[in-house]
Structures are given as structure tokens and as C-alpha cells.
Structure 1
Amino acid sequence: MSDAAPYAALSPDVVLAAVDAAGSWSDGRLLTLNSYENRVFQVGLEDGGFVVAKFYRPGRWTDAAIEEEHAFALELAAAELPVVAPLVFNGRSLLRQEGYRYALYPRRGGRAPSLESPDQLEWLGRLLGRMHAVGARERFHARATLDRPTMIEAPVRAALGSDLLPAHLFDAYRHAARRVDEAVAGRIDAIGPLRSIRLHGDCHPGNVLWTDAGPHFVDLDDARMGPAVQDLWMLAGDEAMMDALLEGYGQFRDFDPTELALVPVLRAMRQVHYAGWIAERWHDPAFPAAFPFAAEARWWEQHIADLHEIADDL
């Protein structure tokens, strides 16, 4: 395993052997699922059905952080929330095979939610209210916090240290990123202290799957401490959608309306983080294939212009 090719040794044989080692005997059927940060596979089982095998990116999370993610998912499932939690084998959910850390999950299909539907948004709001009621019971200790160091400072360092950022745009990017960071810091200071709870962390529509029985949440890989609104804003494209989410949310947990002022801040941090994430992962062959535009100077020029616009608006 190397930083330049973290999954080079993750062959189909290794994936199938990992499933077998857990005691869920595979039948050789293997389908690669869409994932950039980790590697995820659907694997057929001899006794019918499938499991999903998730192999964690080496070096990204500590064992303790992954185990906290798993424990949170299992706690939510125990509270009868529709969260796809890892399978547990002999008391363990974090497993190892050929130097890789992995977990197995039950396969749960579904379609994208209809976020134009107030009824579906209220339903999601109710579930998020219940999820956050559980999340507020205690804190994460090994996982990250949604803050400027993790969402702005570290990604900016990654971009500035990468050959992906054109040399002639280095100073312009650094200046634009500094402006956003200062604007974000000023907005956070103006809002004042807010309560942080355990979150899903990346609750965008792609991590919500809908079936005839209703929605379920997948992929808590970015679970972290942060304000409740982080799990709401990516599902709400406008004020009416947020109102529908909060109508359901309020049936199970009080929402601090002060947090709505954080939405532009969270959106700004996510945009800075996105560019830094691509730059940091560019050595992984999956990233140039998935994000070829990031190798073009014009994309960075537009990103810099976007950052200045964000700073102006904040």
C-alpha cells in the first residue's frame, strides 16, 4: 500500500476473501459501487442475497474514529431509525484483510428522494429530529468537528501544496481563500456559540434512499460534531423546503433558529473543502478520472472568482 496508489493491492480476490473471512461466504459475484474516498463493493452470497463491503481509505481515519462511526450507526438503528448500520461479527464491526480495514453492511436499495415534495421533506425532518435527539446524548471523542481548521485551513494547505493548482494562480488562490476564511470567522463570531451534537455530517440527497416503505440513510463516513443545521441545509434548496424540513423536525426536537444564519457559512466551507479534497486526493488514480476538469487552469480561475463572490456575500 502506498499514498500514491492506496488501493493498488485491493484485488477482487482480496475483496471476496474479506467477505469469506467474516463468515459471509461469497459466491463470486462482485460489483464495484460508486465511491471516491473509500472503495465499496456489492458482493453476492452463497446462501442468497448480497452484502456491501466497504474498504476504508488507509490513513484517513483512526481505528477509534471508525469505531465511533459504527457505534453511532448502531445506536441509531437500535433507536429504530432507518440507518444502514454495519454488521457485527463476534462483537466486531471493523475488520481487517490483507492490510485493509473494512466493514460489511446489509444491502439496502432505493431511489432518490423527491425533495420537491413537502410531505417527503417533513418525513425527513422528523427522522433527522429523532436522529439528532440520539446524537445529542453524548459526544464524539475521536472524530472530527465541523470547523474552520478542518473545512478551510486544512483543504487550503492541501491545494497550496499540490501541483494541481497552477503556479501562476498560487497567490490569487491564497488571497481568495484567506478572504473567505476571514469572512467565515467573522460570521461565526457574530452568530455566537452554538451547541454541537453528533451528526450524519454529509446528509446530501445521494445519502438518502427512498423505498415504498420510506427513506433510509446511508454512509456515515463523515459523521462528526457540529450544529444541527448541517444535516438540514443540503436537503433544502430554498426557504420553503427548509420550512418543510423544520416542520417535521420540530415534532421530535427543538431547533435553534439562530443556526439558520450558519447556512451561508456551511456552504462556503464546503466549497473551499471540495477543491482542497480533490487536490489532496489527486494521486489516487480514481480522482483524475472522475474530476478531469480540476487539471485545467480555467477551473481554478473560476473557483477563485467564486471564492471572492462568497467572501463578498458573507
Structure 2
Amino acid sequence: MSDFCFAHLTPECILDAIESTGIYPESGLLPLNSYENRVFQFRADDNQRYVVKFYRPARWSEAQILEEHTFMAQLAAADIAVVAPLSINGKTLHQHMGFGFALFPSVGGRSFEVDNLDNLELLGQVLGRLHSQGAQSAFTHRPALNLSTHLQQPTQILQQSGLVKAPYQQQFFQIVKEITEICGSLYQPKAQIRLHGDCHAGNILATTDGLCLVDFDDCRQGPAIQDLWMMLSGDTQSRQVQLDALLSGYELYRAFDLKELALIEPLRAMRMIHYMAWLAERHQDPAFVGNFSWFATDKYWEQQLGYLQEQLLALQAPPLSLAFG
């Protein structure tokens, strides 16, 4: 089986896997929006709705997945709204035909409105509580968010892939080199805690009870600002107002080190390059073409060069500050 291939995950395999846990689907399998893993919603014979998640082979070790599950269980036990995996017969991670999978309760909700300052303040409260728990101990098996994992290794993947088109290759890797050098001097987090790791609007649900965080697949050690900066958009003044709203909620539960604001642009640059390498690693997956047909075209690399040039300027500018600090 290819490290990145779900070719053998047939509907029959999925149903057999679910039924091996003692849960019996009555409805069809509704695919949910996920490319990295395979995720389906269904209704079972107990009239409850569930979500089953099949982990992409070879991405995380069993110990790393279980560490994710343990973290989510700790958050849920602290009454922090997350969708934690169900424990069935004492296990949260199950195996079937070479695939690791987990079952979750299906939670409904509305999309998170990023441009609503009240929502941002509420999210700040959730993240302040989450980080208070995250700071109590460290991951043993999950990696940290660092220059190696998010800049150096991704650059090597892109160089070895042969996917960067010749007309753009020299300029592309020169800019990446300059960005890496600047990030090396700027990205020096003083403290790293357990994080959600991928806290964007798509991983937040607005429910009748408040906000609920989903998909901890990228949880890892890192600076607290990693779970905040993706909520900031627009011009400098807009981002300052958004940051104030987030921190007004966050600091009700945990102090925030304002020196971490200098990490925002390095983290943005790291995410950009890491994402390109993520795409390059998966371009041979049979499902790739339908989802990412635009990847590695001339237009794609031309656009990425423009984005990286803008990011280089952002790294050289003064860091974001509070609007009312």
C-alpha cells in the first residue's frame, strides 16, 4: 500500500471497520471535507449520528495519534468544547485492514464568523482555557513546530520533487533561502505548549452552547500565537482590532506574552512553504488531481513567487502591535 494512498479503503472496508467496533450504520456514508484523511458521517442503528475518521497511512505513528486522543480527552474533561474520539471497549484508535481509524460523535453547528469581534473574543476565551491545559504537560511523541519541520524539510521536499518549473526555479529557491535566513533570526519562541496547531475558521463550529473546536490532527508543541494568528486578516489596523478582541478573551484565563507577536510573520512564511511541500508529497495520490488540479502549473508557481516576495517584505517590517496597548 502506498504511504499516501487510500485505494484499498473501499465502502465495504469502511463498513466492516465500523461494524468491528459494535456500531452498525443504517444510513449511507456521507463524505466530509477532508483530503488528508478520509472522514465520513453516518447514522447508526441506535439513531445516533457518528463521524468515522481513517488516518492517512504512515503520516502519524500510533503513539502520536494516541497522544492526540489523550490531549482531546483531557480538554473535554476540563469542560472545553472539543469533539473527542469515542472510547469503545477501552480504545479510541482501532485497526482494520491496515488502516487506523477513530469514531467521533457528530456535532452540528454553524460556520465561525471571523469578522465578528464578539466571536473573536469568545474564541480567545476558549483558546486561553485550552492553552492553560496545554501548558500543564508536554507531548512526548508529537513534534514541535520549528524551522526544521516547517522550513528546512519542506524546502528539501520541494527541491527533490522536481515540480518547481524551470523558469521559476532559481528565483523561487533564492527567495525561500532568504525567508529561511530571516525566520532563523526571528523565530525563537521562549515557551512551547501543546496546541490545536491548525486553528482556522474551518476547524471551529458555532453551536448553541458556544464554540467547539474540531480536528486536532495537527496538534503539536509550539508558541501560543500559532493558535491565534490565523484569525487575523486585512490591513494593519484591522488586524490590531482583531488581536485586541482575541486577547481580551484569552487573558481572562491565561497571560499572553506580547513578545510572541514577532513570531506571526515567521509562522505565516513557514505555513506557506510547508503547505507547498505538503502538496508536492501528495501529488501522486489518485485523489489529488480532482482536488488540486491547479498545483504545479506555471500559473501556480508564478503566483507563489508573488506571495513569497510579499511575505519577505512582511518579515522585514515591524511586528504587529496592540491597537490599544
What's the TM-score bracket when you normalise by the shorter of the two chains?
over 0.9
Quote how far apart the aligned CAs of 1:170 are. 2.8
Determine if the alignment matches structure 1 residue 268 to structure 2 residue 269: yes
How many residues get paired?
310
Matches within 5 A, 1:293-304: 293-304=294-305
**1:2 and 2:2 are equivalent in the alignment:** yes
Contact 1:164 1:294 in 2 (8 A): no
| Residue 209 (str. 1) matches residue 205 (str. 2) | yes
Q: Secondary structure at the match of 1:60?
A: coil
| Inter-partner Cα distance in structure 2 for 1:290 and 1:123 | 33
1:92-103 alignment runs, 5 A limit: 92-103=91-102
Cross-structure match for 1:175: 174
- Alignment match, 1:89: 88
Describe the superposition over 1:120-162 as per-residue Cα deviations: whole angstroms up to 9, x where unpaired: 1111111100000000000001111111111111211222222
**Which ranges of structure 2 fall in alignment gaps of 5 or more residues?**
234-238, 316-325
Asked if the contact 2:189–2:260 (Cα under 8 Å) also holds between the matched residues in 1, the reply is no
Structure 2 distance, partners of 1:137, 1:198, is 9
Q: What does residue 29 of structure 2 align with?
A: 30
Distance 1:211 1:77 in 2: 16
For 1:1-314, what aligned pairs fall within 5 Å after superposition?
Answer: 1-3=1-3, 6-188=5-187, 192-237=188-233, 238-314=239-315
Please list the CA deviations of residues 42-94 of structure 1 after superposition, one character each: whole Å capped at 9, or x if unmatched.
12201212211100010000111000000000000000000000001122111
Q: Structure 1, unaligned stretches of length 5 or more? A: none
Cα distance in 2 for residues equivalent to 1:186 and 1:14: 49
Paired AA for residue 258 in structure 1: K
- Contact 2:5–2:286 at 8 Å: present in 1 too? no
Give the CA deviation at 1:193.
4.3
Root mean square deviation, CA, Å? 1.3
Query: How far apart, in 1, do the equivalents of 2:116 and 2:296 lie?
Result: 38
- Alpha-carbon distance between aligned partners in 1 of 2:165 and 2:289, rounded to the nearest angstrom: 15
Tell me, in whole angstroms, the C-alpha distance in 2 between the residues paired with 1:307 and 1:179. Answer: 10
Which amino acid is 2:252 matched to?
Q
SS of residue paired to 2:26 = strand
Counterpart contact for 2:41–2:49, Cα < 8 Å = yes
TM-score, with length taken from structure 1: 0.95
Deviation at 1:308, TM superposition (A): 2.8
The structural deviation recorded for 1:28 is 4.5
SS at match of 1:295: coil
- The residue identity in structure 2 corresponding to 1:124 is L
TM-score (norm 2): 0.92
Percent sequence identity is: 45
